[in-house]
């Protein structure tokens, strides 16, 4: 008699992100809500993890989220070895084991890289081997098609689900401000996420300081990933700008979001943003650029999206001077909009 597992479509997910990255865990949960699918992590090995996964699990699909860890190394000589090893593993999986290769493209090209040629080589190779490539936004399709040199028919648009079931959210504004040592009557803007040059944090601080607003604070919370950039940020801090330059623990995220009147995410370029979805999950109005998936996810509050960096101070002033009731109403609309995208929506691509 055929077992249930034998009749299911087996999907091995790589690389293994672990619970520190809830995106992949929630994605697999969403896939497994479909009784015809069985999604699980493959073998955690940056060098031979692809072939090990195929040999040990014999999946129908290899689903990749990020491929950079398989070919890019700190030392150039190790990268020179890893690139052909990556190519060979993909080809063996596809042609020898008849495993279907699929890929969720989080960024058309990696951010903050001086190795564009290397990444382009590896990504275009990967794209050619894929049955399909999932992107999060229709806006990404044209750019990905040009960059990867694949037909648009290979691209599939499936937005990301939400994180409301994952992160605690049991505090209120008063408790959150007490926790962070902020005055209850103050106005508070929040940037929360990794701190890198392409995130536009330095420009955010400069825009905020132009406003010269009393009893108003900007919190920058997240790990500083570039030492020189971190020093540049520390050089422009004052008493109104609070830098928390380390990872925020999962159980503390609620205090930062609930203390904020609005969230600001001034990315210079972006294809997808978990930070936007996180802020929507905490029912916050969001100041962000009108680009890529951000423009679509936040279409219900388009008045807070800016088209150029010059508009950022104006948008900050605007959201800070709204009455509390309007900010809450916009945040509620953002929270409600999360219902439009579910983790299980990705299942359709495997069936």
Question: pLDDT at position 49, please?
Answer: 98
Give the confidence band of 1 by pLDDT, cuts at 50, 70, 90: very low
Question: pLDDT at position 182, please?
Answer: 97
Give the confidence band of 186 by pLDDT, cuts at 50, 70, 90: very high
As annotated, the residues of the chain forming the CATH 3.40.50.2000 domain(s) are 4-158, 173-340
Residue ranges of E strands in 181-245: 187-192, 216-221, 241-244
pTM greater than 0.85:
yes
User: Which residue matches tokens 């699918």?
Assistant: 37
Return the CATH number of the domain spanning residue range 4-158.
3.40.50.2000
Nearest to 252 by CA among 222, 285, 288, 284: 222
Helix axes 201-211, 227-234, angle to 10 degrees: 10
Residue ranges of E strands in 241-303: 241-244, 262-264, 286-289
Nearest to 191 by CA among 281, 239, 240, 260: 260
Contact in structure between 245 and 169 (CB atoms under 8 Å): no
Give the confidence band of 2 by pLDDT, cuts at 50, 70, 90: very low
Mean pLDDT, the chain, integer: 95
Query: DSSP string covering 138-183, please?
Result: HHHHHHHHHHHT--GGGEEE------TTTS-----HHHHHHHHT--
User: Which residue matches tokens 């420009």?
Assistant: 203
Highest mean pLDDT: which of 20-29, 125-134, 291-300?
125-134
Residue 158 gets the label, from left (phi > 0), alpha (psi -120 to 50) or beta, of: beta
Give percent above pLDDT 70 in the chain.
97
Compute the distance between CA of residue 147 and CA of residue 182 in angstroms, rounded to an integer: 46
**Sheet containing 61-64: order of strands:** 37-41, 9-14, 61-64, 100-104, 132-135, 155-157
Give the confidence band of 3 by pLDDT, cuts at 50, 70, 90: low
Give the confidence band of 4 by pLDDT, cuts at 50, 70, 90: low
Residue 341 gets the label, from left (phi > 0), alpha (psi -120 to 50) or beta, of: beta
Compute the distance between CA of residue 15 and CA of residue 168 in angstroms, rounded to an integer: 26
pLDDT > 80? residue 57 = yes
Compute the distance between CA of residue 310 and CA of residue 206 in angstroms, rounded to an integer: 11
Q: Which overall architecture, per CATH, does domain 173-340 show?
A: 3-Layer(aba) Sandwich (3.40)
Average pLDDT of the segment spanning 198-204: 95
pLDDT > 60? residue 300 = yes
3-state secondary structure of 273: coil
3-state secondary structure of 317: helix
pLDDT > 90? residue 272 = no
Cα dihedral 59→61→67→70 (10° resolution): 30
Residue pLDDT, tens place only, 243-270: 999 999 999 999 999 999 999 999 988 7
Residue pLDDT, tens place only, 307-326: 999 999 999 999 999 999 99
Contact in structure between 327 and 257 (CB atoms under 8 Å): no
């Amino acid at each position: 008699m055929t077992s249930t597992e034998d009749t299911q479509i087996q999907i091995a997910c790589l690389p293994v992100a672990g619970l520190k990255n809830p995106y992949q865990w929630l994605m697999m949960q969403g896939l497994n809500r479909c009784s015809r699918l069985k999604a699980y992590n493959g073998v955690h090995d940056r060098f031979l993890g692809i072939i090990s996964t195929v040999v040990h699990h014999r999946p129908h699909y290899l689903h990749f989220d990020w491929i950079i860890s398989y070919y890019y190394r700190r030392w150039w000589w190790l990268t020179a070895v890893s690139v052909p090893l990556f190519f060979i593993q993909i080809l063996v999986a596809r042609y020898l084991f008849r495993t279907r290769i699929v890929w969720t493209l989080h960024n058309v090209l990696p951010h903050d890289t001086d190795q564009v040629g290397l990444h382009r080589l590896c990504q275009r190779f990967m794209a050619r081997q894929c049955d399909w490539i999932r992107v999060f936004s229709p806006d990404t399709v044209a750019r990905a098609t040009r960059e990867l040199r694949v037909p648009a028919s290979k691209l599939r648009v499936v937005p990301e689900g939400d994180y409301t079931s994952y992160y605690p959210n049991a505090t209120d504004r008063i408790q959150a401000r007490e926790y962070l040592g902020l005055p209850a009557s103050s106005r508070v803007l929040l940037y929360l996420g990794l701190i890198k040059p392409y995130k536009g944090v330095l420009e955010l601080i400069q825009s905020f300081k132009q406003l010269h607003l009393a009893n108003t604070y900007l919190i920058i919370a997240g790990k500083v990933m570039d030492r020189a950039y971190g020093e540049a940020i520390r050089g422009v801090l004052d008493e109104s700008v609070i830098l928390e330059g380390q990872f925020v623990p999962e159980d503390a995220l609620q205090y930062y979001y609930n203390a904020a009147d609005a969230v600001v995410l001034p990315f210079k370029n972006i294809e997808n943003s978990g930070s936007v979805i996180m802020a929507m999950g905490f029912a916050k109005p969001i100041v962000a650029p009108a680009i890529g998936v951000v423009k679509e996810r936040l279409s219900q509050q388009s008045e807070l999206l800016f088209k150029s960096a010059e508009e950022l101070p104006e948008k900050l002033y605007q959201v800070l001077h709204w009455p509390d009731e309007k900010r809450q109403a916009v945040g509620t609309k953002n929270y409600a909009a999360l219902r439009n995208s579910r983790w299980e929506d990705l299942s359709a691509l495997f069936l």
